[in-house]
């Protein structure tokens, strides 16, 4: 015997070490881990209603842009002196620019515009389709992420729910509501493609700065477009509720939750983190009903249930995945 462990033994030893490290982390942090997890669930459930309320006074394009100006600035301040602030390769800037426009431009514009015509709860449900788009893109772009029957079944179930919701919107709420629902779902596709492309390119940069750079490349064209279409922000109706919603979304809904998510990743299993994707849509529906005065017909609730069942099938019994996939599966979509 050479004293070198066989591959299976090495794998078992690594697994034991990982479990021991996670247990030690849980013991050290105690109440902080469940508190952070609950915070993510509550905040990401509430951001949808904050968007809806803020849109009463602020136009959607500028609302999105200013939100991420603030969020990016906070992430930069938090990162200074702790991590490297810029990518290593020039080509990384092109990737960050493209994915930033998709994630923080296209996706959030469709969400904010869609919420002008769709309830906050249904918007959250429609954005829960992000993992469905993600697994399709990953099948074609990532060699080790092939589609499996269970995930395909989950995708069809969830898409049936989306179709049911959008059909109901078209029948009872009019054409703008229908296109609002379609736009939110397609925006989720743009976000999913951004997530998968970021995984494929594997940019060597701290997560907070990855998000900050994406926000910068996303909000620059939005600031210009917002000024041309909606006018100067100085002329907006800056009511107290509008200011509160903007700061809540930027500081709490983006910066804080993003940092909490990356703090939790090494301390919780990805499977447990993925449950946030199933909790936030019902949470958004409940908050919209309690505080937003929103009503949800039976067919819309049935469609929402199908979406969540489909997402659950996609996540069910999925093995531990790496950090990039975990973030793709547990996105901030509010």
pLDDT: which is higher, 293 or 109: 109
Q: How many domains does the chain have?
A: 1
φ, ψ of residue 133 in degrees (nearest 5): -60, -40
Cβ proximity of 276 and 264 under 8 Å: no
Q: Is the pLDDT of residue 1 over 50?
A: no
Least Cα distance to 69 among 191, 224, 212 occurs for: 212
Q: Is residue 37 part of a domain?
A: no
pLDDT score for 145:
66
Q: Is the pLDDT of residue 183 over 80?
A: yes
CA 54 and chain centroid, separation = 19
pLDDT score for 312:
78
Q: Is the pLDDT of residue 230 over 80?
A: yes
pLDDT tier at 271 (50, 70, 90 boundaries)? low
Q: Which H helix or E strand runs over 36?
A: helix 32-54
CA distances from 316 to 130, 192, 313, 320 (A): 16, 19, 5, 11
Q: Torsion angle of alpha carbons 191, 109, 313, 46, nearest 10°?
A: 120
Q: Is residue 334 part of a domain?
A: no
pLDDT: which is higher, 186 or 277: 186
Q: Which of 34-48, 124-138, 175-189, 228-242 has the highest mean pLDDT?
A: 228-242
Q: Is residue 205 part of a domain?
A: yes
pLDDT score for 19:
59
Q: How far apart, in whole angstroms, are the C-alpha atoms of residue 125 and residue 106? A: 18
pLDDT score for 155:
77
Task: Tell me the pLDDT tens digit for each residue of 236-267.
Answer: 999 999 999 999 999 999 999 888 888 887 77
Question: What is the SS3 string spanning 38-54?
Answer: HHHHHHHHHHHHHHHHH
Residues 6+ apart with CB under 8 A from 287: 45, 46, 48, 49, 120, 121
Q: Is residue 222 part of a domain?
A: yes
Q: What is the residue range of 79's domain?
A: 43-329
Q: How far apart, in whole angstroms, are the C-alpha atoms of residue 292 and residue 290? A: 6
pLDDT score for 236:
94
Q: How far apart, in whole angstroms, are the C-alpha atoms of residue 254 and residue 245? A: 12
Cβ proximity of 89 and 177 under 8 Å: no
Report the percentage of the chain scoring pLDDT > 70.
81
Q: How far apart, in whole angstroms, are the C-alpha atoms of residue 302 and residue 309? A: 11
Q: Is residue 195 part of a domain?
A: yes
Q: Say what the pTM is.
A: 0.79
Report the percentage of the chain scoring pLDDT > 90.
33
pLDDT tier at 55 (50, 70, 90 boundaries)? very high
Q: Is residue 13 part of a domain?
A: no
Quote the tokens at residue 250: 């930027």
pLDDT score for 97:
95
pLDDT score for 128:
79
Q: How far apart, in whole angstroms, are the C-alpha atoms of residue 205 and residue 218? A: 18
pLDDT score for 136:
79
Q: How far apart, in whole angstroms, are the C-alpha atoms of residue 151 and residue 316? A: 9
Quote the tokens at residue 286: 């409940």
Q: Is the dihedral of CA 159, 161, 162, 168 positive or negative?
A: positive
DSSP 8-class letter at 3? S
Cβ proximity of 61 and 222 under 8 Å: yes
pLDDT: which is higher, 13 or 195: 195
Task: Tell me the pLDDT tens digit for each residue of 98-144.
Answer: 999 999 999 999 999 999 998 888 888 888 778 778 777 877 787 77
Q: Is residue 267 part of a domain?
A: yes
């Amino acid at each position: 015997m050479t004293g070198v462990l066989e591959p299976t033994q090495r794998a078992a030893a690594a697994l034991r070490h990982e479990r021991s490290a996670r247990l030690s982390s849980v013991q050290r942090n105690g109440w902080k881990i469940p508190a952070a997890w609950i915070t993510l669930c509550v905040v990401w459930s509430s951001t949808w209603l904050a968007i809806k309320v803020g849109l009463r006074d602020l136009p959607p394009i500028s609302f999105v842009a200013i939100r991420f100006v603030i969020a990016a600035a906070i992430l930069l301040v938090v990162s200074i002196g702790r991590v490297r602030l810029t990518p290593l390769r020039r080509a990384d800037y092109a990737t960050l620019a493209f994915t930033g426009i998709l994630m923080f431009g296209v996706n959030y514009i469709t969400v904010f515009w869609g919420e002008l015509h769709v309830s906050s709860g249904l918007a959250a449900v429609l954005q829960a389709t992000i993992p469905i788009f993600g697994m399709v893109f990953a099948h074609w772009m990532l060699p080790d992420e092939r589609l499996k029957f269970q995930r395909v079944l989950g995708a069809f179930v969830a898409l049936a729910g989306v179709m049911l919701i959008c059909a109901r919107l078209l029948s009872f709420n009019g054409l703008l509501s229908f296109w609002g629902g379609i736009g939110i779902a397609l925006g989720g596709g743009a976000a999913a493609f951004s997530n998968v492309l970021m995984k494929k390119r594997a940019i060597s940069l701290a997560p907070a700065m990855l998000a900050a750079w994406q926000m910068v490349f996303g909000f620059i064209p939005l600031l210009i477009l917002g000024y041309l279409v909606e006018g100067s922000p100085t002329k907006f109706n800056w009511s107290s509720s509008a200011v509160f919603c903007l700061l809540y979304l930027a500081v709490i809904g983006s910066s804080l939750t993003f940092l909490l998510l990356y703090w939790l990743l090494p301390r919780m299993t990805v499977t447990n983190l993925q449950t946030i994707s199933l909790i936030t849509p019902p949470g958004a529906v409940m908050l919209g009903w309690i505080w937003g005065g929103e009503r949800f017909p039976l067919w819309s609730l049935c469609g929402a249930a199908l979406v969540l069942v489909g997402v659950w099938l996609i996540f069910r019994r999925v093995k531990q995945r790496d950090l990039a996939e975990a973030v793709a599966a547990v996105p901030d979509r509010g």
